[in-house]
Amino acid sequence: MERELVPLARSAALGELAADIGHDLANPLFAVLGLADLLLLDAEAGSSVEERLHLLKQTALELKDDLRALLDGARSADGPASAALDDAARAATALVRHGRGKELQVVATYPAEPIVVRCPGGALAQAALHLVSAARVSAGDAGPIAVEVAAEGVDGVLRVSPAALDGVGVLVAGRIAADNGGLLAQEGDALALRLPLLRAERGP
């Protein structure tokens, strides 16, 4: 229990730190955007100055999007009580592929329609990222890894292979599943994260 609680406490502390950093960066970033707009009003059309100001503004807008994502993740505990499992899996896969380069092979199977489960969005994204990252470590930098999202009975299921049974991230993903009425279990060569579908009612 102590081994499970320590990483959870660390994750919570990191979330609070990320929120503090995000709020500290928000005001100067908005100031940069405002000043860029003002300077563009006086810049000569087609000049190198105008081109550089547009580049500055575009970079600031990209940082604004990154900052919003950071704050959304840090607010996971206060997030909505439901989220799309397929969106979380796609985001996790994209992050892992971006971090390891394009050589990582990923075989992904996603549903045609969103699969909404009973779990806060931030927590769901964290669990998905832990499982995909663990599979990447198990398979090696080049992979391949497999990611599948499906609806089975009253559950939404995220399967990731190869199964990685060790590591802090897997423990955290299991705790997130348990805290939201689901479970994390090995199914063949995959780890399966099961969470109750939003509109499904469990039978006896």
Q: Please choose, from the candidates 138, 144, 132, the residue with its C-alpha nearest in 3D space to the C-alpha of residue 90.
A: 132
First-to-last alpha carbon distance for the chain, in angstroms, is 29
Cα separation values, 184 from 3, 139, 188, 190, 192, Å = 17, 19, 13, 10, 6
Of 64, 65, 39, 74, nearest in space to 54 by CA: 39
Q: Up-side HSE of residue 46: CA atoms within 13 Å toward CB?
A: 0
Q: Please give the share of the chain, as a percent, with pLDDT higher than 70.
A: 74
Q: What is 83-196's CATH superfamily?
A: Histidine kinase-like ATPase, C-terminal domain (3.30.565.10)
32 has a pLDDT exceeding 50: yes
**Collapsed DSSP state (helix, strand, coil) of residue 84:** strand
pLDDT, greater one: 165 or 131: 131
CB 13 within 8 A of CB 44: no
pLDDT, residue 93, reads: 84
Which of 147, 142, 182, 149 is closest to 162 using CA atoms? 147
Q: Indicate the domain borders of the chain.
A: 2-74, 83-196
